[in-house]
Amino acid sequence: MAQAAIELIGINKSFGAVRANRDINLEIARGTIHGIVGENGAGKSTLMSILYGFYQADSGEIRVGGKPASIKTSNDAIALGIGMVHQHFMLVDNFTVLENIILGAESDALLKKSIAKARSELERLEREYGLEVDPDAIIEELPVGLQQRVEILKALYRGAEILILDEPTGVLTPAEADHLFRILKQLKEQGKTVVLITHKLREIMAITDNVSVMRQGTMVATRETKKTTVEELAELMVGRRVLLRVEKGEAEAGNVKLAVKNLTVKDSRGVTMVDDISFDIKAGEIVGIAGVAGNGQSELLEAISGIRRAVSGSVMLDGKPIDLTGAADPGELRDRGLAHVPEDRHHVGLVLAFEENENSILGYHHDPRYLKGPFLNIDAIMADAKDKIEKYDIRPGNPRLKTANFSGGNQQKIVLAREMEQDPGVLIVGQPTRGVDVGAIEFIHKRLIAMRDQGKAVLVVSVELDEIRSLSDRILVMFAGRIVGERGPEATEGELGLLMAGVERQEAAE
Amino acid sequence: MDIFIAIVQILDSTIRLSVPLLLACLAGLFSERAGVFDIGLEGKMLVGAFAGAAAASVMHSALLGLGMAILISVAFAMIHGFASITHRGNQIVSGVAINFIAAGSTIILGQAWFSQGGRTPALQPGERFEGIILPGANAVREVPILGPIYSELLSGHSILVYFAFAMVPFAWWVLFRTRFGLRLRAVGENPAAVDTAGISVAWLRYRALICTGVLTGVAGAYLSMVQNGGFVKDMTAGKGYIALAALIFAKWKPVNAMFACLLFGFLDAAAIRLQGSPLPIVGKVPVQFMQAMPYVLTVILLAGFIGKAIPPRAGGVPYVKER
């Protein structure tokens, strides 16, 4: 085995009563790509933050390149050649690429020399690793994939030999993710060590040499990637067997519940995002909309659920039109049996500062079930919240807990429970499992299938192709605001990928 | 020619009246660009004005007065920093508290020390900053057009006026051409990026507040030692707030800040000049109306006439490491 780049020995870290890391031992070989997997809250990010000097371990030893290292601040980590690409980019949005790269690594008190130096260094890195990016571009004007590249460049500019990436593909399109993997492989060939934190097992299998699994703050196993399987890793992560692909019977499609006709929607800048779209969803089927993020899916969801005005077109719910001029408010649609699980649960789906029980009736608080005269019926709301907690296995099971303190997966379950338990005729779900653990994904998928089997019409929009393929009875692919194809669930990933990239459409145009 | 002289005179007083606004506005620029909202500009100017006039009159030195004004103003800025950076308190509350402390303490200390109803003794020559006659100002006075512009408008101001306007390009240079400026702007936009780059967020913000304190100190000294011959209670009269409005109007940019402050100064100067004299078309306008103009303009500008002003993104939010 190659020499170890990093050794962690007996690392412990607690936040108050929560033991985020207990007795962690980990050895990462130089010049390899090492994956660390685990559910949300398993302690992966904490461990890496300790390595990067963001937090300090309560006890334990860190060795870098065989020598004991004391990492008290990020500066110490940078000096030891450790670079980190954070899940939420640590970039200043209105600075240029160059300014972001030199921030904290300026050569002297004036900027001129630093900028010139960074510019030539950037050219070198671009040649060596194929990391192309316009040095004078403003960060917020770059697509997410390029922003991430700037983060990688930042670390390399500081002389990083060990690169830690925290959930790097969560925000990327499949093509961008592929490109990232090529870059990582190239870094590895140049002798750099890469640590990849993720909960997407496919990525681990595709790119890593070794993989370590964390569960509830402990390191449960380290495997050579070649000698393990997705099923084994999932089981190690969750602690029980997990079904990665839900089993479901044939759909028994009934009447049309929701009919969208010639719908056109513009975004706030006036750009046409949904361009003359028509489709319908029948009772008892799941229709999945696949597509690279930003191809109009969000605007489509918003228009159907009454959040955004449509320019033209019509939407019929149970044969009756929905007013698309802005007068249709989501509350009215809810009363008519259209439930909506929004893509962005933090900004649209939940009030994070509220208690769990308050969020579990949000939007349905006018329902007489939750009222006692003009007042809220706290007892009824609590009983209702407890009921949902039990049914949806929301953890921790305390309805008085602030929603912000739940993990992403459990927050998603709170929203799903609220919308599904209203027994809607039509359920619209955006990104059902974004940022959700493997175990919870299985649960959410089962619930969606159950809704279908009860004869509900379900619309699922997701950027996760696997999810779309595993859930949908029919798959619609969106590209540049249009539906460019419809396929059955048996469609291959490659076929859908081409549609998502707009290939077929361009060929037809030529 | 009379109109020309009148215009020169109005512009001359525009410059004088905009100086405290400009200094306060640049002061606010440093702290807000670093992500610390500072509603306490008013209070810091006030304690600066008091400390400056008091020290100058006791120690018989304008320079010592200025030094004391800066020292006390910086001390108040550090209180704001201690509350809002170290202890992550609410920046608005801390700023308001500083304004109250300033308003109260200057009167109480003034009365206790000088027994003149909260005033400081009238400053003697040598205890205040005198106007500087630029070379050749008297010689060119009679030259048409350029003569009055040079000798009236540009010459004859105190050193603090020239300092204030020199600070505009200097502040720009510091913010946009130095490492300190780059980091200061970064910490106002995304402190986590600064933290992960291995730079102390707190120390950076404290340094920004020191800049703020120095500038409000000079602004205060200007009020009590140049514009007025001593300290009078509540002499800042809302200038700190107008400076904040100008800062938003200027979209947090130094050169814009200068023009914004000159605009507010001009309205003030015009209000004083036009008091009682009839205007063309509208006729005689009540004094109160003219005096209210700067405030009316503030409201109109802030109500959206300035287009989209994007404040520093991390402004007003104390930095807490995740979790």
pLDDT class for B305, splitting at 50, 70, 90?
low
Strands A474-479 and A59-64: unpaired
Q: How far is CA B165 from CA B5, B70, B178, B245, B259, in A?
A: 23, 18, 20, 19, 11
pLDDT value for B226 = 94
Q: Pick from A253-257, B156-160, B213-217, B307-311 the range whose average pLDDT is largest.
A: B213-217
> Measured between beta carbons, which residues in chain B are less than 8 angstroms from residue A78?
198
Q: Does A106 touch chain B (CB under 8 A)?
A: yes
Size of interface A-B (CB pairs under 8 A): 68
pLDDT class for A452, splitting at 50, 70, 90?
very high
Angstroms from B201 CA to nearest CA on chain A: 11
**Range B148-175 average pLDDT:** 92
pLDDT value for A356 = 93
pLDDT class for B307, splitting at 50, 70, 90?
low
**A residues 220-249 closer than 8 Å to B (CB):** none
**Range A375-395 average pLDDT:** 92
pLDDT value for A193 = 96
Q: What percent of chain B has pLDDT over 70?
A: 97
pLDDT value for B90 = 93
Residue A509 has pLDDT above 50, yes or no: no
A227 shares a domain with A295: no
A219 shares a domain with A95: yes
Q: Please give the tally of structural domains in chain A.
A: 2
Residue A330 has pLDDT above 90, yes or no: no
Angstroms from A165 CA to nearest CA on chain B: 14
A216 shares a domain with A270: no
Q: What is the 3-state secondary structure (H, E, C) of B256-322?
A: HHHHHHHHHHHHHHHHHHCCCCCECCCECCCHHHHHHHHHHHHHHHHHHHCCCCCCCCCCCCCCCCC
Q: Which domain holds residue A276?
A: 256-349+408-509
A287 shares a domain with A210: no
Q: Which of A212, A238, A264 is the last residue of a domain?
A: A238
Of the candidate ranges A9-13, A136-140, A251-255, B243-247, the one whose mean pLDDT is the lowest: A251-255
A418 shares a domain with A471: yes
Query: Which residue of chain B has the CA closest to A52?
Result: B196
pLDDT value for A2 = 56
> Measured between beta carbons, which residues in chain A are less than 8 angstroms from residue B251?
none
A75 occurs within a structural domain: yes
**Range B151-166 average pLDDT:** 91
pLDDT value for A346 = 83
A9 forms beta bridges with A61
Residues B261-304 have pLDDT tens digits of: 999 999 888 888 877 677 777 777 777 787 787 778 778 877 76
**Range A450-465 average pLDDT:** 92
pLDDT value for A328 = 66
A309 shares a domain with A182: no
- Whether residue A108 and residue B179 make contact (CB cut-off 8 A), yes or no, is yes
**Between B290 and A105, residue with greater pLDDT:** A105
**Between B117 and A28, residue with greater pLDDT:** A28
What's A498's domain CATH number?
Answer: 3.40.50.300
A286 shares a domain with A190: no
**Between A182 and A45, residue with greater pLDDT:** A182
Around Cβ A96, how many Cβ atoms within 10 Å?
18
- Whether residue A90 and residue B186 make contact (CB cut-off 8 A), yes or no, is no
pLDDT value for B286 = 78
A336 shares a domain with A440: yes
ipTM greater than 0.95: no
A214 shares a domain with A326: no
Query: Which residue of chain B has the CA closest to A55?
Result: B321
**Range A413-431 average pLDDT:** 93
Instruction: Return the domain boundaries, chain B.
Output: 2-128+142-241
Q: Which of A208, A238, A268 is the last residue of a domain?
A: A238
pLDDT value for B304 = 66
Q: Does A95 touch chain B (CB under 8 A)?
A: yes
pLDDT value for B268 = 87
Q: Which of B177, B197, B313 sits opposite A103 (nearest CB)?
A: B197
Query: Which residue of chain B has the CA closest to A72?
Result: B198
Question: Using CB atoms within 10 A of its CB, is residue A496 exposed (0-12), middle (13-18) or buried (19+)?
Answer: buried
In sequence order, which residues have a C-beta less than 8 Å from that of residue A296 and are 6 or more positions away? A265, A273, A274, A275, A277, A478, A480, A481, A482
A415 occurs within a structural domain: yes
pLDDT value for B290 = 75
Q: How far apart are CA B116 and CA B128, in angstroms?
A: 19
**Range A469-486 average pLDDT:** 92
pLDDT value for A510 = 42
* Radius of gyration for chain B, computed over Cα atoms and rounded to the nearest angstrom: 20
A433 shares a domain with A308: yes
Angstroms from B86 CA to nearest CA on chain A: 18
Q: What is the mean pLDDT of chain A?
A: 89
Of the candidate ranges A281-285, A483-487, A499-503, B44-48, the one whose mean pLDDT is the lowest: A499-503
A100 shares a domain with A172: yes
Query: Which residue of chain B has the CA closest to A91?
Result: B193
Q: Does A153 touch chain B (CB under 8 A)?
A: no
Q: Which of A82, A92, A163 to mutate to test the interface with B (most CBs of B within 10 A)?
A: A92
Of the candidate ranges A115-124, A252-261, B127-136, the one whose mean pLDDT is the lowest: B127-136
A397 occurs within a structural domain: no
pLDDT value for B29 = 97
pLDDT value for B126 = 85
pLDDT value for A332 = 86
> Measured between beta carbons, which residues in chain A are less than 8 angstroms from residue B178?
109-111
pLDDT value for B39 = 95
- Whether residue B182 and residue A106 make contact (CB cut-off 8 A), yes or no, is yes
A86 shares a domain with A13: yes
pLDDT class for A508, splitting at 50, 70, 90?
very low
Angstroms from A157 CA to nearest CA on chain B: 12
Residue A195 has pLDDT above 60, yes or no: yes
pLDDT class for A82, splitting at 50, 70, 90?
very high
pLDDT value for A288 = 95
**Range A478-488 average pLDDT:** 91
Q: How far apart are CA B50 and CA B73, in angstroms?
A: 10
Q: Phi and psi (nearest 5°) for A376?
A: -75, 140
Angstroms from B211 CA to nearest CA on chain A: 17
**Range B54-83 average pLDDT:** 96
Q: Does A15 touch chain B (CB under 8 A)?
A: yes
Angstroms from A450 CA to nearest CA on chain B: 36
> Measured between beta carbons, which residues in chain A are less than 8 angstroms from residue B195?
54, 74
**Range A204-213 average pLDDT:** 93
pLDDT value for B323 = 41
**Of B13, B11, B28, B68, whose CA–CA distance to B224 is shortest?**
B68
